[in-house]
Amino acid sequence: MSLRAQPTDVYSRERNDRDRALLAAVVFAVLFSQLLLYPGVSTLVEALGADPGASALMGTALEASMWFVVAEFVGYVAFVGVWGVASDAAGRRTPFIVAGALAGAAGYAALAAVPAVGSLPFEAVLLLRICQGAMTIGPFSLTMTMLMDLEGGHGRNMGAAGIAIGLGAALGAPMGGALTEVDPIAPLAVAAALLVCVGGLVTRVPDRSPGSRRTPHAVVAGVRRTPQLLLPYAFGLIDRLTAGFFALVGTLYFQAMFDVGPATTGLLLACFFAPFALLQYPMGALSDRIGRVPPIVVGSVCYGVGILAVGAAPTVGLAAAAMVVVGVLGAMVSPATMALVTDLAANDERGIAMAGFNVAGSLGFLAGFLIGGTVAEAYGYGLAFLVVGGLEVAIAVIAAPVLLRLSIEDGSRFLSRADDS
């Protein structure tokens, strides 16, 4: 498989650019809707019936918030592989994205209706949250797979996905904080409306999947023959762990440490997500030119150190500055890691390959919530930052020799220009 870009006519380039932008808009909408809920999550779970001290799941407000966020990612992990295998087996992406978007919208709407229903146990709310997550992950993962199917450079395509993810988070967090101050249920209603829009927008992009039908068993067997995918999966897991840590524990840390409200907390999160988003595309294009190894390895080490700096910042201004630096470093790592998945996966196994990456990412988010929340609850925020930052440095140190060995075995793929096939 040649990884150098092939000449294309002007019309093809313009069409690819248009479709890349539309698909990025879909990814943006899904992430934006997800992040709307995070800045005011403690207020939201209270509106949905969480009563701290009423059960083992709700010992404190932190625990109730943690389980509400975790429930969505349980649905992600359980079903993202199902979406990927189904898409690869059918040789189609669009119908599955539309179905998942509409079902996810129904899930958000059902959660928004909980206060009107009344007397619904919080455990039932968590079950609804799992179902909503199981549906929402389909549009997210398969739209990223449609970006993998595009020509024009894996780094650029995954950079477009990355900028959409980052912008969705950067704008979703402050908007969610503002909506929560108006009405705790408002983020759920807006999220439902956005996913309905996603179902319509994705139909405007041609479905470029290989189109060949295969059995689910053949799809799974094919991806198992590419164990090298475990490498970007490992980096993706730890990178998403840090994002999950900031989304939950970082939110509560900023509010406790600096005595700020949901709106200011959203702005602090945006200090990370804004540069993380805006630099994704140029960083992805850079990895097409210099290879995946330098941005992944060097970026991960510096990223981990930056997380430690956020936890050590004594003022809200310094914390915001540190978050900006961490966002820049995260932008260096993310698109190169996702592009590595595309480099390694066969054309007709991209759905499950990206699903595997998103499984790793969702497990990372879960670990960020659970490890960060548990350590912060038991030992304080300082140790929580140390653990999460240390894990980011550790994965780079441990995985670097393996990545370098692979790059030596196939330098054209990892060290020289790594464009689309």
Domains and CATH numbers, the chain: 10-414 (1.20.1250.20)
Per DSSP, helices labelled H in 202-229 are 216-224
202 within 8 A of 149, measured Cβ to Cβ: no
pLDDT value of position 70 = 82
For the chain, count helices (H), then strands (E): 18, 0
Residue 29, token pair as written in the block: 């909408």
Dist. CA 246–CA 369, nearest whole Å:
9
What per-residue confidence (pLDDT) applies to 199?
92
Q: Among residues 171, 204, 148, which one has the least CA distance to residue 26?
A: 204
Going residue by residue through the chain, which has 421 residues, state the pLDDT in tens, using 9 for 90 and above. 333 344 445 667 778 888 889 999 999 999 999 989 888 888 888 888 777 666 666 666 677 787 888 889 789 888 988 998 888 888 889 999 999 999 999 999 999 998 888 777 888 889 999 999 999 999 999 999 898 888 767 788 888 888 888 788 778 878 988 898 889 899 999 999 999 999 999 999 988 877 666 666 666 666 677 778 888 888 888 888 888 888 778 888 888 888 888 777 878 888 887 788 788 888 888 888 888 888 888 889 999 999 999 989 989 889 999 999 998 998 888 888 888 888 887 777 778 888 888 888 878 877 887 888 888 888 888 899 999 999 999 988 888 888 777 766 555 455 434 444 4
User: For residues 133 and 163, what is the distance between their CA atoms, to the nearest angstrom?
Assistant: 22
pLDDT attached to residue 2? 36
Written as six digits, the tokens of 266 are 């959203």
* Tokens of residue 151, six digits: 């020509």
* Cα–Cα distances in angstroms (integers) from residue 50 to residues 110, 179, 294, in the given order: 16, 20, 46
- Are 219 and 346 in contact by the 8 Å Cβ rule? The answer is no
Which pair of structure tokens corresponds to residue 259?
A: 């005595």
How many residues are there in the chain? Answer: 421
Which spans in 291-415 are helix H? 293-312, 316-344, 350-379, 381-409, 411-414
pLDDT at 410: 59
**Closest Cα to residue 354, out of 139, 33, 90?**
139
Residue 185: its pLDDT value, please? 92
Q: At what angle do helices 10-35 and 186-201 cross, to 10 degrees?
A: 160
